[in-house]
Amino acid sequence: MSEFIGRLTPQARKLKGTLKAGFAAGLLLVCAGLGYLVYRNGVDGTRFKAWNQGLPGSLMMLAGGLVMLACLAVYFFSGKLKRESGRLLADLSKDRYKYLLIAPGILSVFLFNYLPMYGIVLAFKDFKARLGILASPWNGWTNFTRFFGKSISTEVILNTLHIGVVQLLVSFPVPIILALLMNELRSKRFRRTVQSVLYLPHFVSWIVIYSLLYSLFSVTSGIVNKIILSMGGNAFNLLSDPNKFRPLLYGSNVWKEAGWGTIIYMAAIAGIDQEMYEAAYLDGANRWQQVLYITLPSIMFSVMTLLILNVGSILGNNFDQIMNLRTAPTMAVSNVIDTYVYDMGVTQGQFGLSTAIGLFQQVVNCILLFTTNSIVKRMTGEGFF
């Protein structure tokens, strides 16, 4: 709607600002009412009665909903905003089929990503299965102090940071290099063949990859060790050696995901104006100079966007890999936050503790995401948001 804000009269702009503030206030009322209901439920437990203890929260939610509906009604039916609201309705009508196509995706994200977020309250509760999530009593910051009070918390956090940072440094540049190299291939048929070979490992699950690694490098039955032993050498323990576990993680991740990561960069390279290369060629630039001064700057926004997203997930983006590749001897170097949450929550049933650890992890990831975006934006002038 920003493209026609300039057409609004001063009175219409003022009304629009008031409606925005009113809608935000109504949304806050709804959230506050919902929060009050959750809080009172945890305090009163099984004695909670929605029409008694929950009446203030219900009234706040009702009032907030009415305020939001009133703001929307004024926006669409006010004569001062008729032009803008009419333009919006026309755009919605024109692209209605596009919105219908994305509606299932939006609905699935809401149902499976946003709706379950009410379970975050478990981080501040002493969960009792017979009472359920909402009726379980509050215990404040006890779950957080329990985690940070354990000696294993330092090991888990350091392992997560070490694996996340090194894996980012090792894995992030590889798709960029592969995309630049494939862009230099003259034969389209050969390029498509290379792309297919590189993409294929992405579709193989980590369970299958562990089976392949076991068949190759098992001390007792691995093909590689059998060949080494037949030649008079000594078998090496790749899967159960703590010193080799992290290099195994980095190498297998590059093999599995590097080809898939080139898709975005290849798409960005395909959008570069070919006249720029022709002009550079006429000016005497060789292929390396064209890559350095045309290709890389042109795909820099994609590079920075993916860098920000990868840094924002340093503390939790390799659960499947580690969960399938770790063994009992490598537990000391493979125990990260995600696997510890799984062990505490699924294996031992300490849902409050595991939720608290997961919440701490996501808060740190959010801080890293916004910090990286701010730094990149100041350095390059381009950010994710």
Which residues are CB-contacts of 15 (< 8 A; sequence separation ≥ 6)? Answer: 74, 78, 80, 81
Ranges in the chain, pLDDT < 70: 1-8, 46-52, 382-384
- Output the pLDDT for position 1: 39
Q: Distance between the two ends of the chain, CA-based, in angstroms?
A: 19
- Output the pLDDT for position 123: 93
- Output the pLDDT for position 383: 67
Residue 63 exposed, middle or buried by CB count within 10 Å (0-12, 13-18, 19+): middle
CA 322 and chain centroid, separation: 18
Distance between CA atoms of residues 240 and 222, nearest Å: 13
- Output the pLDDT for position 49: 67
Q: Which CATH architecture has domain 144-380?
A: Orthogonal Bundle (1.10)
Distance between CA atoms of residues 167 and 250, nearest Å: 6
From residue 56, give the alpha-carbon distance in Å to each of 40, 63, 133, 136.
Answer: 10, 10, 21, 21
pTM: 0.82
- Output the pLDDT for position 3: 42
Adjacent-strand bridge partners of 138: 125
Alpha helix stretches (DSSP H) within the chain:
10-44, 55-77, 82-94, 96-109, 132-135, 142-148, 152-171, 173-183, 188-199, 206-217, 223-230, 242-270, 274-282, 287-290, 296-298, 300-311, 319-325, 331-334, 337-342, 351-380
Buried b (16+ CB within 10 A) or exposed e, 205-222: ebeebbeebeeebbeeeb
What digits encode the pLDDT tens for the residues 4-22? 444 667 888 888 899 999 9
Contact assessment for residue 351 and residue 122, using Cβ atoms and an 8 Å cutoff? yes
Residue whose token pair is 């039916």? 77
Adjacent-strand bridge partners of 299: none
Contact assessment for residue 179 and residue 269, using Cβ atoms and an 8 Å cutoff? yes
Q: CATH 1.10.3720.10 in the chain: give the residue spans.
A: 144-380
Contact assessment for residue 338 and residue 266, using Cβ atoms and an 8 Å cutoff? no
168 DSSP assignment: H
From residue 128, give the alpha-carbon distance in Å to each of 34, 146, 232, 259, 267.
Answer: 21, 17, 60, 46, 51
138 DSSP assignment: B
* Ramachandran category for residue 21: left, alpha or beta (phi over 0 → left; psi -120 to 50 → alpha): alpha
